[in-house]
Amino acid sequence: MLQSYFYVYSIMILEKGDFMNSVFLRLNNNEVNFVKDEKVNSLVNELKLKGILPIEDLKYIIENISISESRNLFKLADMVKNQYYGNKVYLRALIEVSNYCKQGCFYCGINRDNKSIKRYRLTEDEVFEAVKKAYDLGYRTFVLQGGDDPFLNDDIISSILVKIKTAFPQTRITLSLGEKTQASYDKLKLAGADRYLLRHETASFKHYMYLHPQDMLYDNRIKCLHYLRSSKYQVGTGMMIGSPYQTVDTLVSDLMFLYKFQPEMIGIGPFIHHHDTKFKDHSDGGLYETLIMISLARIIVPKALIPATTALGSIVEGGRELALKAGANVLMPNLGPEEQRELYKIYDNKITTSDSDIVFKNKLEKKLINEGHAVDYSVGDHIDLEGVKL
Ligand code: 5AD
């Protein structure tokens, strides 16, 4: 099943010629598919044994892996995931609370300089209603994600957190609301937040500068991740694959960073251009490149919770399903109010569903079970935290 999936997609993608400009050199040309490189396979096996490899070896894997070796990597990553989490796929309800943003990330469609989009912000009641609806559908983790919206200050967010946790004490709340001070992170943790997603975006100082305006500092991003850790959150980080100016060295730095930081969650998705941004003419990240990085991340941080991201499902239909067979074990369906889902467009062609939440839920469950997964609606903490009082 897995084999045939990958075969069909390889052919489809090779025909589309999507491998242009990839730093994964052997995914770049058509001859690749069937030429084997045993050194890649043996390095990947060694990575699994040791947890990490020297920079040069990671670089070798990225530059020499072809579709053929990637299948071996995906299988290995799937085994590592199974070892800790079995065949469970954890479901989280994603609620996009605001698309106002004070930051100017060059890749992102809701950045402060985009004057052509309609901005929205959910009220406390709207957030609560969305959470309640998700709870009634069975979800026990709610991910409140938004732009870096100054209006959503600590008091406002805390009030929402308290309201949710009072009504639904046995649940988890994940925040994804950008860079804050240690004091703010502490306050929000105390009010009921359990987890925080803040992608590092790239572990290269220089690359970070190419992706962000001068008032956004790499050091602050990393500092925030350390704040979150010391405020006792389950911390998620991650990066886009195929972002403009990414190189094999920046990707290796990302892997090294993940190894050093050992985040509880890792979000990896392809870069997708947005027509209103400075990067509108840059090409999108590829499916295989992203799957390979997900698998490497799984092997390097074996116990991480790794989502199959919406971005991956947006570049190729079935992209998320492939990720769930290559090391990912989380899905985050959008359960915010339907009217606003269209407005949270961080990149072009972001997928949305026209199904109602209940129809979507039934279809999704059926599909996952068909593919050999167990659907899990529990709080789904990181394995080291299970049973620990948060
Ligand atoms: N393509 C893909 N991912 C993007 N993100 C933001 N803009 C884009 C884009 N154009 C990702 C960033 C951010 C997360 C919320 O979404 O990595 O951290």
pLDDT along the chain (390 residues), means of 10: 49 42 78 71 97 98 94 97 98 98 98 97 98 97 98 98 98 98 98 98 98 98 98 98 97 98 98 98 96 98 98 96 98 94 94 88 95 97 78
- 66 Cα to the center of ligand 1, angstroms: 26
Q: Are 60 and 101 in the same domain? A: no
**Which residue's C-alpha comes closest to atom 2 of ligand 1?**
271
Residues 167 and 261 in one domain: yes
**Claim to verify: residue 100 and residue 39 sit in the same structural domain:** no
Q: What is the domain extent for residue 49?
A: 2-83
| Ligand 1 pocket list (CB less than 6 A) | 107-108, 199, 201, 240, 269, 271-272, 274, 311, 346-347
Q: Is residue 387 part of a domain?
A: no
What would the pLDDT profile of 36-82 be if each residue is shown by its tens digit? 789 999 999 999 999 999 999 999 999 999 998 999 999 999 999 99
Instruction: Examine the domain organization and report whether 264 and 324 are in the same domain.
Output: yes
Nearest alpha carbon, ligand 1 atom 13: 199
Q: What CA–CA distance (Å, rounded) separates 104 from 198?
A: 16
Same structural domain for residues 300 and 286?
Answer: yes
- How far does residue 313's CA lie from ligand 1's centre (Å)? 13
- How many domains in the chain? 2
Domain boundary (59, 83, 107) is at: 83
Show which of 66, 83, 100 is a domain's final residue. 83
345 and 290 in a common domain: yes
Q: Which residues contact 329 (CB under 8 A, 6 or more apart)?
A: 81, 85, 88, 89, 90, 305, 306
Report pLDDT for 1: 47
C-alpha of residue 241 to centroid of ligand 1, in Å: 10
- The residue from 83, 98, 113 where one domain ends is 83
For residue 386, being part of any structural domain is answered with no
